[in-house]
Structure 1
Amino acid sequence: MTAMAEELTMDGLGRLLQQRYDEAAEHIRLESQVRSELNVAQQGPGDIADAGSLASESAQHDLVSAALHEQLHRLEAALVRWQAGTLGTCETCDGRIPVGRLEIMPWATQCVPCQSAADRGR
């Protein structure tokens, strides 16, 4: 569902959040499974090149796993705000966050002007 095809309602946004949360949780489960398989492979016989390759793959999986966990945490926080009825309200100015922004970045906690000001202040 896109904002262009159909305006996203708050109920629709809640379903979208839950879908994205479920997808992120599944990606984490699959990543964990791959990690387990890598750990088993590291225990087997191999040469120094195999060890280096496995170490590199392991580091890449660490980065992917961290990003997936961060995304899951953000989506979970957005679901909590949705359930509380505060999703879509800017934490800085109490203004409305456009639904289109929430569709793209459902964990957004600030409207575009407040986020821009915060980014400039960094």
Structure 2
Amino acid sequence: MTAVTDGLDMAAIGLLLRQRHAETTGQVGRLQAQAASMRGSHYAGSGDAADAGTVALEAAEQTMVTMALQEQLVRLQAAIDRLDSGTLGACGRCGEQVPLTRLQVMPWATHCVPCQSIVDRHR
């Protein structure tokens, strides 16, 4: 496998990855704090049954968003690891270079577009 060799472009991709990782980490922390606060107010006995239902629904929604963000963190960290090892930008299926434009949009991409289509069909 080869990786993207343009150091300047990879530096920009690396910066983007690290920024998105930091932003996503912050979002997860804020959502977890909000969920804890909501659970605390629910357990304090405030409100009626409708309030409790609303709190439960909002907590469930925040849990789903948090889980999605945590999955995103895993993809971002894996991409940072590939960047650090020099393999970011190499397609995991064919070994060809993933287009830089794809990496700019999805810096965690592990496949070129043709191979991603094949992978998606086999899911």
TM-score, normalised with respect to structure 1? 0.90
Please give the secondary structure, in 2, of the residue aligned with 1:9.
helix
1:37-70, Cα deviation, whole Å (9 max, x unpaired): 1111111222111111111011101101101100
What is the aligned partner in structure 2 of residue 57 from structure 1?
Answer: 58
RMSD: 1.0
**Paired residues, number:** 115
How far off is 1:27 after superposition?
0.5
1:17 maps to amino acid: L
Per-residue CA deviations over 1:73-113 (Å, capped at 9, x if unaligned) read: 10000000000000000010000001110111111100000
Distance 1:34 1:107 in 2: 28
**2-structure distance, mates of 1:32, 1:58:** 10
Unaligned runs of 5+ in 2: 1-7
Corresponding residue for 2:70? 69
Listed as ranges, the gaps of 5+ residues in structure 1 are 1-7
Q: How do 1:91-110 residues align onto structure 2 when only pairs under 5 Å count? A: 91-110=92-111
The 1-side partners of 2:104 and 2:29 are apart by: 24
Q: CA deviation at 1:121?
A: 2.4
Give me the whole-angstrom Cα distance separating, in 1, the residues matched to 2:118 and 2:75: 21
Indicate the percent of aligned positions where both proteins have the same amino acid.
44
